[in-house]
Amino acid sequence: MAGGNCAGNLAAVKPQPFFEASLNPSYCAGFASCTQAVAANEGNNGTGNIGLANVWSIWSDLDGGAFNFPRSMLNTPLPGTAPCPGAPATPPPPPCGSQGQLSSDFVQNTSWGFGSYNAMFVTLKMSQWHGLTFQSNFTYGKALGTGSQVQATSQYTINDPFYLNRNYGLQPWDRKFMYNAFLVYQPPFFENQRGVLGHILGGWTIAPIIDIGSGLPLGVYVASATNSAYYGGQTFGAADGSNTGSYDNAVNMCSLTGGSQRHNNPVPSTQYPGMGSSGFGPSLYQNPQAVYNCFRNAILGFDNGHNGGVGNMRGMPFWNVDLSVKKNIRITERVSTEFGAVFTNVFNHVQLTDPYNALTDTVDFGAIGFNNGGGTSNTARKIELGARVRF
C-alpha cells in the first residue's frame, strides 16, 4: 500500500489481518475485503493519504467510525450519550462527553535525547619565520544525535513517539571535513623604512584566512511534508504534519551520498514537468529525475531502522577567503600612520543555497539558490577601510 496506486488496482491488494479484524462491515461494504476498502478510500482515488505516507491522517479517518473498537485518538469526539461521572446510568443521561478532550497530537519537545561526536584534529603551526606566521587546522568528524533544536522550537517533535532511536541521525551542523588556515606575512625588508623606497616597500602586513568545508546534511523528505518548517511528521503517526512536524527522511534506495557540483543545464525530466528546467536555475544534480527516483516513502512496519537526522545526503561544499592588508608609514620615530583594508569574501565567491527536496515537490527538486528563502548562503564581498595615527 505504500506506493499509493492501490486504488487503481484493488484486485492486487491482499487482505491484511489487522484491517479485516478491526473495521466495521459497513465500512467494507462493496469491496472484496476491508483492506481493499482502505486502499480505495485512502488511496490516490480517495484522500490520497496512502501515497503521501500520511499515517496520522489515515488512522484519524478510520477512527471516525470505521473501527469496531472505541475511540483511539485524542482528536476523535466522544459519544454524546456518555453519562457524567457519578451520575445514574438510567435515562435521560446528561449531555456529557459530547466533545471530550480534543487534541491533534502530543509533542515531545524536551531536552531528553542523546548524541555523540567523534573527530580527528590535526594542526600545523609556524611562527615568525622570515616574517611569516602560519597555522592550519584540519578536522575530520561526525556529529550524531536525536535532534538539535533550540528551546523555542515548540512545533518540532520526534519521528516516532514509541521509538526515540528513530530520530537518531546526522545533526544539522555536521560537516565531515573542515579545513581552515590563516597566514600573517610582514616582509622583513625595509623594516626601518629609510628613504623613499623604504617608505613604499616597508611596513606592510598581509593576512589572509581561508575556510573550506564539506557539505552539510541534506534531506530528501517524505511526501507528507505539509509543514514547510518541519517537513512532515506523519510517516510513523507522530503528528498531524500541519501544526507540528519532524524531519521524516525518505528511504534512499540507491545509497546516494549527494551532489557536489553546480549544474547550470540539468537534464529536463520526462516524467515530472518542470524538473530540471531552466526556470529554476542551476541544479545540484545533472539528472534530477534519476536522483528523485532513488527515494521512496518509508513503509510503516517495514522500515524499522533509523529514519531520523536532518538528512540522508550531503549538500554542496563551501569555501571562503577573507583578507586584511595594512600599511604602516613612519613619519618620525614617535609618530606613524597606518592605513588598512579588511576584505570579507575577497573573491566575491557565490555560495548558492542547497535545495529543499521533498517527494511531493517535484518541480524544483534539486534546484539550488531557489528554496529556503532563495539566493545565497553567504554574503557578497565587503570592504572596510580604516586609518590610524600613532603618537
Q: CA-to-CA distance for 122 and 297, rounded, in angstroms?
A: 40
Residues present in the chain in total: 391
Domain boundaries of the chain, sorted by first residue: 1-83+92-103, 115-390
Could you please report the per-residue DSSP string of 154-201?
TTB--S-TT-GGGG-EE-TT--SEEEEEEEEE---TTTT--HHHHHHH
Helix, strand, or coil (residue 258): strand
Q: Strands of 294-375 (E only): list them.
A: 295-296, 313-314, 318-330, 336-344, 357-358
Residue keyed to cell 594542526: 123
- Kindly report the backbone phi and psi dihedral angles of residue 109, in degrees, each rounded to the nearest multiple of 5, phi listed first: -135, 75
Q: CA-to-CA distance for 298 and 320, rounded, in angstroms?
A: 38
Q: Considering the entire predicted model, what is its pTM?
A: 0.79
Digit-by-digit pLDDT tens for the chain (391 residues) are: 444 455 567 888 889 999 999 999 999 999 999 999 999 999 888 888 887 888 888 988 998 789 988 777 766 666 554 545 554 444 444 455 444 455 666 677 666 788 899 999 999 999 988 889 999 999 999 999 887 666 667 777 788 877 888 888 899 899 999 999 999 998 888 777 777 777 787 888 999 999 999 999 998 888 654 554 456 778 888 887 777 777 788 888 888 887 778 898 899 998 888 898 877 789 999 999 999 999 988 887 788 766 678 888 899 999 999 999 999 888 887 888 999 999 999 999 999 999 888 888 888 899 998 755 558 888 999 999 999 998 8
